[in-house]
Amino acid sequence: MSVVSVGFRTLFYKEMLRFWKVATQTIAAPILTAMLYLLIFGHVLEGRVEVYPGVSYTAFLVPGLVMMSVLQNAFANSSSSLIQSKITGNLVFILLPPLSHWEILLAYVAASVVRGLAVGAGVFAITAWFAHLSFAAPLWIIVFAIMGAAILGTLGVIAGIWADKFDQLAAFQNFLIMPATFLAGVFYSIHSLPAFWQAVSHFNPFFYMIDGFRHGFFGQSDISPWTSLAIVCAFFAVLAAVAINLLRRGYKLRH
């Protein structure tokens, strides 16, 4: 086995160990948050809103909460790791080994995917007790969960490279990630919005991740899952290209 592949495995293991050692914060806390969302919104709107024919609002809400948890925690994993390494000064131990830019990116993204999926699975295991869910197309569930986590993990790498302190990272998350997630149809179908806001929602890539993921459960969605998949893949390719370019240039890393 080459030195480079050993380095990739080591970095991936380090990232996995980093979030697993504080699983109460990184895994249990997001599951509790999603549970509270379900209890509040499900209690208030159950029986009053029917998004899809024959699908209760609580059942509609569960996939949205699962995907929201996957996305937010995948972003948090890579972004927090990079900013911590920059502030504590141990980033040099990642830059010095013979790791290619792709291997650095893939190690961070792969660990983010694992954390995102772990939290998502936990949220699903808890919230699924409150609603009857079907699995119309399980493959779509898996594909969009992995792609969504990979996209947010990559976006977390970009944010972690760009930010110089935790305040900047918090602003990135609070003013970009959170609004894009909440306005992507987690709690509603975009068909319930006025025409103008429906059009605006189509410019939000997070919408396609959540809509495609939900299609896997009910076989119903606001747009074709193939269209969503194409947009999601294109968005990932753009973000990966940006992240690789930043790593190659050493932007805010080599100083």
pLDDT score for 43: 73
Lookup result for tokens 């753009």: 238
Alpha carbon distances (Å) from 27 to 8, 17, 73, 115, 157: 24, 13, 9, 8, 20
**What's residue 122's pLDDT?**
96
- Assign 187 to helix, strand or coil: coil
Query: What are the counts of helices (DSSP H) followed by strands (DSSP E) for the chain?
Result: 12, 0
Model-level pTM?
A: 0.92
Cα–Cα distance measured from residue 240 to residue 158, given in angstroms and rounded to the nearest whole number: 9
Question: What residue ranges of the chain have pLDDT lower than 50?
Answer: 1, 3
- Neighbour-count burial of 162, counting CB atoms closer than 10 A to its CB (0-12 exposed, 13-18 middle, 19+ buried): middle
Q: Which two tokens stand for residue 42?
A: 């499900």
Q: Which two tokens stand for residue 3?
A: 């030195």
Q: What is the DSSP string of 113-156?
A: HHHHHHHHHHHHHHHGGGS----S-HHHHHHHHHHHHHHHHHHH
Residue 1 pLDDT: 45
Burial (0-12, 13-18, 19+ Cβ within 10 Å), 2: exposed
Rounded to 5°, angle at Cα 85 from 81 and 86: 120
CA distance 228 to 51: 19
Measured distance CA(144)–CA(182) in Å, rounded: 17
pLDDT of residue 106: 96
**Alpha-carbon Rg for the chain in angstroms:** 19
**What residues does each domain of the chain span?**
3-249
Determine the pLDDT at residue 105: 96
Quick one: pLDDT at residue 95? 84
